[in-house]
Structure 1
Amino acid sequence: MNPLKILIVDDEAPARERLRDLLGDIAASQPNAIVGMAANGVEALRLSEEVRPDVMLVDIRMPGMDGIELAQHLAQLEAPPRVIFATAYDEYAVTAFELHAIDYLLKPVRAQRLEAALARARNSLPPTRDTLDRVAEPRRHFAASERGRITLIPVDDVCYLKAELKYVTARTAEREYLLDESLVQLEQEFPERFIRIHRNCLVARSAIEGFERDEAGEHWVVRVGGVGEQLPVSRRQWPSVRTALLGAEQA
């Protein structure tokens, strides 16, 4: 068997070291090579682009980006690694398996359980992007690939999302980012954060400063704060936008 390339993700150094030792103990039956260690999801996501692990051993409660959000982002990659959660908490098991996790190991992790999880990882299919639709909690970051590296954009910083060709542009007050995601999928994942104003555009509710007629006086546009832009509201979307943002009494 070829060695599995493994990335260990845990915010506690002793936990990372224990997993490293366990992987050494079972290397004869499940050949493996540790290609990196990370202390949180942000580090792990960036490191994964460099080392391309086959498997990630992931803690769940971590600062910056927890293990659940990390798994959501990994599912977006072209060749995502298999994820095995290793945590002290059992309440995330349902969400973990919704993300097609290979296994859910409770700490202290036992060598026999880890060995069985790696065996399953060898024979499993990688997760797919549709796993994002099954998870109740939305992500806190978007991930954009730029010059071979992943850039993380806080969802709260995004003023609007606009579909252009096969990409979605995420606009913050500072700049634009290209996301390799579906606008429909993003609308389903963030219904409380964004509202559709056009077939190709979602606007952050908190970024909307107001509405006014366009220069011809025929259509409504939305004023987007922070970026100084006006975006058209389609005739089809205007009734639902007006009801949602201005109140049912004005619908």
Structure 2
Amino acid sequence: MGHQRNTDKMKKLSVVVVDDEGPALRRVVKMVNEHPLLELIGTAMTAGDATRIIVETKPDLLLLDIQLKDATAFDVLENLEEDTFKGKVIFITAYDHYAIKAFELRALDYLMKPFKPERFHEAIERVVGNDKVGFHKVRDIMEGLKKSNTELVVVPEGIKNYFLNRNSIQYIYAEGYYANFVMDDDKKLLRISLKKLESLLPHSFVRVNKSAIVNYNRISELVNNKSTIKLIMEDGNEFQVSDAFSHGFKKMMHELLHTY
């Protein structure tokens, strides 16, 4: 009875839900609508819409899917200023246990897909009862994640995310709708386009032709002829830099040479 009286006295938290999958979005919205402490004031399925709605409504609580189709949750949060959003954040994620562990260590809650209503209520109670978990705390967590994951590349595939050691990746080449990651001791075939990978990979990964991306740090030899550029990788495999990508490759190579 005491818990019910406290619930009645508490002001409802305004909530914005962000998820790029319709069924998942509707499921979370239903849970929000059924929770006595929550009031839904907006939803979004893209990073752009999410940023706009958050700025316009300034919700008390943001339920934010990490892997959106056009960006990540971190991209959304980095575009916000503290004076426009001072609310709390619960991440919704399909990340594996490595990422989950990172969140747990920093005491910020998350909902791991697929989650049950009981877990949803638990997360709400935890965040509602912790006044310290505000936007400033989220920024600290983001910075910590960036530092701890500097050696990792996160590659999404459907509802899964793969964490690959960036330094061990020598090159990536396309196989139909898939990308074949060639690493020091392993190969991994993932359903993702090279175009998508270009936006996800660190600066040291360079697109050299329609079918390949190479790790600049794993190039063993560069043969610069008058009309062609040939790359020889550490494992002996060779790649031609095509005309369509030569300008970008030379520009990237110039920048990297002045960086390292």
- TM-score where L is the length of structure 2: 0.46
TM (normalized to structure 1)?
0.48
**Higher helix share goes to which structure?**
2
